[in-house]
Amino acid sequence: MLKDNAILIFELINYRWSQILESYNTAPRICKKVRIIDEEKIRRKPLSRYIKYLDVENPEHICFICGQPVNKQDLAIDHVLPWSYLYSDNLWNLVYVHGSCNSSKSNNVPLEETVHRLEQRNIKLFSLLKEATSKDKIVAELKFANEHNLVRKFWVSCQG
């Protein structure tokens, strides 16, 4: 199980994490956007597979950005820390938003208040998911993120 997790985590964050560690060593507090030559080959997978998890914590579909409920037609899933910093979809970084509120296009690094809300959401989300889905890889990843403060580590590393 531990070995499985280690491989999973490596796959999840291999690009970004190595870059962050390097940037800490050579240029602290400078967030370099990763230049990946084969970036176009990194396919974005559909985020719909995360709906069943997000619904557990947010069944009313409250927009993470504006706090208002979202109609089904306008429901979008957003990466709080921009996708281009992680090159990966992670439950601990995904929230419901209005399509019109969607921040991922702007690639802005979120404010600390937003990061804090995401951390709190992740704690609550894991507490709701852990019993029903203890062997689920996505939930295991959420647990790992919570225990290792991944949201905050990535966020700090992206402060320019």
Chain residues that interact with Zn ion, rule: CB under 5 A: 63, 65-66, 98, 101
User: Least distance to Zn ion from the beta carbon of 44, Å?
Assistant: 22
Are the C-beta atoms of residues 102 and 66 closer than 8 Å to each other? no
Nearest to Zn ion of 21, 66 (CB atom): 66
User: Least distance to Zn ion from the beta carbon of 78, Å?
Assistant: 9
In this structure, what token pair is assigned to residue 146? 């919570």
SS3 of residue 86 by DSSP: helix
Residue nearest to Zn ion (CB): 63
Nearest to Zn ion of 115, 139 (CB atom): 115
Structure-derived torsion over alpha carbons of residues 137, 150, 37, 39, reported in degrees to the nearest 10: 50
Nearest to Zn ion of 100, 134 (CB atom): 100
Would you tell me how many other CB atoms lie within 10 Å of the CB of residue 46? 9
* Unique residue bearing structure tokens 């914590």: 57
User: Least distance to Zn ion from the beta carbon of 56, Å?
Assistant: 20
SS3 of residue 61 by DSSP: coil
User: Least distance to Zn ion from the beta carbon of 102, Å?
Assistant: 8
Nearest to Zn ion of 9, 62 (CB atom): 62
